[in-house]
Structure 1
Amino acid sequence: MRVLIGITGGIAAYKTLALIRLLTKAGHQVQVVLTEAAKAFVAPLTLQALSGRPVRDSLFDLSQENAMGHIELARWAEAVVVAPASADFICEHG
């Protein structure tokens, strides 16, 4: 399964490292997207090492927009997980 994991800023962000490890160990492909606030809690390089894929830190990354990266991610993913979902994220996105 192709799993897109969105990481928001919060102290629980470090727990996504175990989630990514478990998913990849089970044979799933994992792509990580994280907010600017999440970078204060987990390093993109660590996430890349665990997932085996480049980490996206912006939904509209200018270097990826020629390929419309945000649409590509939506089409690629079979499941989307936001963990942790900060109060701000829930307030904005339901």
Structure 2
Amino acid sequence: MRHMTGEKILLGVTGGIAAYKAVDLVRRLRDAGSDVRVVMTRGARAFVTPL
């Protein structure tokens, strides 16, 4: 992933089996220097635990 220092990203995660991939995406975006905020539906929380 390219260098993204200072980018502000809001990621919406909904309920579905692919929700677990959001965890890796957030990690990669943060490693690239982005400020990432995540909003999750109740259904997404069934697949991924919010921190």
Category of TM-score, reference length = shorter chain: 0.7 to 0.9
Gaps of 5+ in 2: 1-6
**Cα distance in 1 for residues equivalent to 2:28 and 2:45:** 21
Q: Which structure's relative contact order is higher, taking Cα pairs within 8 Å and 6+ residues apart?
A: 2
Count of equivalent residues? 45
Q: CA deviation at 1:10?
A: 0.2
CA–CA separation in structure 1 for the residues paired with 2:24 and 2:49: 14
Q: Which has the higher helix share?
A: 1
The 5-angstrom pairing of residues 21-40 of structure 1 reads 21-40=27-46
1:33-66 per-position Cα deviation (integer Å, ceiling 9, x unaligned): 0001000000012xxxxxxxxxxxxxxxxxxxxx
Report the TM-score, using the length of structure 2 for normalisation: 0.86
CA RMSD of aligned residues (A): 0.4
Give structure 1 regions of 4+ aligned residues with deviation exceeding 3 angstroms.
none
- Structure 1 residues not aligned, in runs of 5+: 46-94
Which one of the candidate residues 21, 26, 32 is aligned to 1:15?
21
Q: Percent identity?
A: 56
The higher radius of gyration belongs to: 1
Paired with 1:21 and 1:38, the residues of 2 have a C-alpha distance of 17
Paired with 1:44 and 1:22, the residues of 2 have a C-alpha distance of 17
TM-score (structure 1 length as normaliser): 0.47
